[in-house]
Structures are given as structure tokens and as C-alpha cells.
Amino acid sequence: MNDVLLKISNLKTYFFNEKGAVKAVDGVSFHVKKGETFGIVGESGSGKTVTSLSILRLVPPLEGRIVDGEILYKGRDILKMSEKEMQKLRGRYITMVPQDPMTSLNPVFTIGNQIGEAFRIHQNVSRNHLINKVIDMLRLVHIPSPEQRLNEYPHQFSGGMRQRAMIAMSLSCQPELIIVDEPTTALDVTIQAQILKLLKEIQGRFHTSIILITHDLGIVAGMCSRVAVMYAGRIVEQADVRTIYKNPRHPYTRGLIQSVPKIGALQKRLFMIEGQPPDLLRLPTGCRFSPRCPYRKEQCQEEEPKTETVGPDHQVCCFRWREL
């Protein structure tokens, strides 16, 4: 697997409080190849964002901790790196576009100042050269009049332009991996399409690997080559996108796909997965999806299923996968 850029094995990230341990990420394993877009989907609270924060070792240290696992970047374990090594890695080789650009951008610094920070830290460029680089980055993400816009503040940008500014910031040092967390949240449909088109352009130009975190299976279909489906801190199914859509083997994956509106479909109501995700402090016995699963049997409520390989690069965590 010489083309693998990032490999995660049995990652466990827990948050601790007086009631116990919240198993936000509990035994997650996947890999990302060079130049590919890998999708992570699931409901809110399934562990998608915590997985991405774990990769960059940005889990809040007072509440959370990575308790087990391995995160190999080009063969080196990120979890064994010193903080000084991590500072060199973040922003230079692995970057992240967070979910809400308005709360991620500092309101008291100009856009140009914030985009230029990575250049100052990792490339030590002069002031005049820095301004030219920032203008080039704004132009790259199609922000009009970049010479003027670099002196404006986040509140002067629209939601779509703030998202573009965050993408420009993440691209400033041409990283090898970008983690994009819910890039289309709170954007209208037209702007969503523009942001996704921009990500495709960037990947084609720089051959950058992308981890795309979303709850929108339509975005996954148009952007990703492979996808992992997360539920209650675990990956319940993982395969290439075509296989996931054509032949889902986990009831949760099937439910997510059935709940997507389809053009021309003559149905009165969209499919809905009954119930709510479990409390991560009080996980159900056996399969974590069993309380909501229409296919459950007694075994599902008593035993925890293990991940099985059911096809080429296709893994599923379910006792009933042969019957679906």
C-alpha cells in the first residue's frame, strides 16, 4: 500500500466527566490514499468531527484524551510525535477547514492577516512577499478584488466567502491532506455547489488528499471515491461509493440512503430511521444500532458484532449483512 498517505488503526478518543467516559470515537480504522477524497458520513454526534480533531491532536486536553490506537502519516505515528513536531505538521502538511467559518475566523484580525499566518510560521516570508502570496491565495479561491478584500474583516464577508477564505487558509502551504468538516453547512444550494466545485478544482491542481466529513450522502456521491459510515463512535460500514449506494450491507447505511430525496420518486413520505442515537455514556448491550434496527434479532441485543470483510475493500459491522 505505497499509495496510502494516512492510516488509522483502532483509534479511541474518550471524554471524561464525573459520570464516566464518553466513547466519542471507539475503535475507528481507515486509510486515505494519495490524491483521493475519502468521505465520513453519519448523524450528528456519531464521532466524525472528533475523529478529525484526533488526527491533528486537537482534542481538548482537560476533557478528552486519545486512549488507544495508531495514526500513521507517511509511516510515522502522529500520536508519538512531540508537540514541536506537531506544530510543524499542522498547517504545513495536514490542515483542516472547520465546520463554522464565522466562529473559526478571528473577528479582530483582517482576512489577509489570518491567511498569511501559515506563511509566516512555516515559510518565513518577507512582508511584501507575504501580501502577494495572500492575494494569490484569495484569487485561487475566486474571491473578487483580492487586493481590497485582504484588508477586510470576517464580518464583511458573506458566508460563502468566509468558507472560501478558510479554504485559502488551509491551502496556503500546499498541504498533502485537507480535512474538510461540513463545508456546506448553512450555505444556500448555489453557494454549496460553488464550494464543492472549488474543492474539486483544488484537488485536481495540487493532487491533495481530502477527508470530507458530512451528513449529506448527495455530496459524498459527487465528491468521494470511498466512504466510511459512522454510528455511535464506530465505523459500521466502509467501501467505495458505488458499492455503498448499490449494495449497502448495514441497516443503518441502508436507512441513510433510503432517507435521501430522489427526483421523480412517487412516495408520500421519506423513509425515517426510528428512534435516536444512543447516549454514549450508556451504550446499549450488543450492537449499538440494535434498538433502532428493524432487522435485529436476539443475538444483536446480546453480542457486539465484529467488522467483517464482505467484498473487495468492503467491510461491515453487522450480524445480519448476508440477509440484506
CATH of the domain at 204: 3.40.50.300
- Annotate 211-238 with b (16+ C-beta within 10 A) or e (fewer): bbbbbbbebbbebbebbbbbbbbbbbbb
* Residue 16 included in any domain: yes
Q: Is the dihedral of CA 307, 95, 69, 45 positive or negative?
A: negative
- The reported pLDDT for the residue numbered 218 is 85
* Residue 315 included in any domain: no
* Residue 86 included in any domain: yes
* Residue 9 included in any domain: yes
* Residue 274 included in any domain: no
Tens-place pLDDT, residues 90-131: 989 999 998 888 788 999 999 999 999 888 888 877 777 899
Number of domains forming the structure of the chain: 1
| d(C-alpha 154, C-alpha 34), whole Å | 33
- The reported pLDDT for the residue numbered 190 is 87
Nearest CA to 203 out of 120, 130, 140, 145 is that of: 140
| d(C-alpha 155, C-alpha 234), whole Å | 37
Its pTM stands at 0.93
* Residue 169 included in any domain: no
CB-CB contact of 289 with 237 (8 Å): no
- The reported pLDDT for the residue numbered 177 is 96
* Residue 268 included in any domain: no
| d(C-alpha 109, C-alpha 153), whole Å | 6
- The reported pLDDT for the residue numbered 79 is 96
- The reported pLDDT for the residue numbered 148 is 94
* Residue 207 included in any domain: yes
For residue 148, give every residue at least 6 positions away whose Cβ sits within 8 Å of its Cβ, in sequence order, or none: none
| d(C-alpha 285, C-alpha 301), whole Å | 6
| d(C-alpha 202, C-alpha 174), whole Å | 10
| d(C-alpha 133, C-alpha 144), whole Å | 15
The whole domain housing 24 covers: 4-93+175-253
Nearest CA to 57 out of 71, 37, 42, 40 is that of: 71
| d(C-alpha 137, C-alpha 165), whole Å | 9
Instruction: Please state, rounded to an integer, the average pLDDT across all residues of the chain.
Output: 92
Q: Which residues of the chain have pLDDT under 50?
A: none
Residues present in the chain in total = 324
